[in-house]
Amino acid sequence: MWTGCLTALVTPFRGGEIDRGALAALVEAQIAGGVQGLVPAGSTGEAATLTHDEHIALVREVVKLAKGRVPVIAGAGSNSTAEAVRLTRAAEEAGAAGALLISPYYNRPTQDGIYHHYASVAEATKLPLVVYNIPGRTASNILPATIARLSQIPNVVGVKEASGSLAQVLEVIATSAPDFAVYSGDDILTLPIMAAGGKGVIAVTSNLVPRLMVDLTEALLRGDLARGRGLMHELLPLMQAMGLEVNPIPVKTALALMGRCTEEFRLPLTCMATAARERLEQVLREYDLL
């Protein structure tokens, strides 16, 4: 399965529409930077404010732009199982290599409900599926026992873990199927999760510095912890800057400051507050990104 740095791709807008020119440039920059995969239409891609038609069109466009050079793992989640099935089937038809599905949000299903949600999507597609556990956004935590149960479904191949609990990550790695992949869902936890047996990160920071994030994950995959620690410390201020406001506001603002896209969000997301923006600019200068 996929390993290393997979980029949670930003969705650029211009005049209220997806900016295909900027999107093409972002995809090329990521591939040139050596990333091992692209993940469009996720939280970083502002999927929550895309229409379903836009969502499907975005995935199709990224698959087309990637031209088979890297796998595209399409964001396809929803709090409605039927909608998740529709988006996943559309990703499959578009030629995506896999799908990333956020755990159902707002509904707050039981662990059994979460299991059957993913099992239903898995039954409806041949795509490899990655579960996305981010309780801070969904209001429910997928427990290790549920992930272990899901790992027995042949095309449920991994989990993007953003629970923030290293104890939970360790339990997931220990109890899931041997070939089940655990990916860090928080850039700052890339080192400990991969050192514990994780296979990579679905990263925000790689939108800005793909090569450095690739170097980090490649060092950790080959067991070079000294190199990994050094790169992690080098990247830490930039990773922390990505949390100055809710994702994806800082990363998209950074890309706009770098001239890669417009500083355009869809409500309820708004532009950064002045103090946070000034701090972000300072960090970007420290990395020679401005």
> Residue 226 has which token pair?
């000294």
Is residue 139 within 8 Å of residue 106, measured between CB atoms? yes
- The active-site residue, picked from 132, 183, 199, 252, is 132
How far apart CA 256 and CA 268 sit, in angstroms, is 19
Q: Are 156 and 122 in contact (CB under 8 A)?
A: yes
Calpha distance 28→34 (Å, rounded): 10
Is residue 160 annotated as part of the catalytic site, yes or no?
Answer: yes
Among this protein's residues, is 252 annotated catalytic?
Answer: no
Catalytic residue among 160, 183, 199, 252: 160
**The residue to which tokens 């920071």 are assigned:** 205
**First and final CA of the chain: distance in angstroms?**
36
Report the catalytic residues. Answer: 132, 160
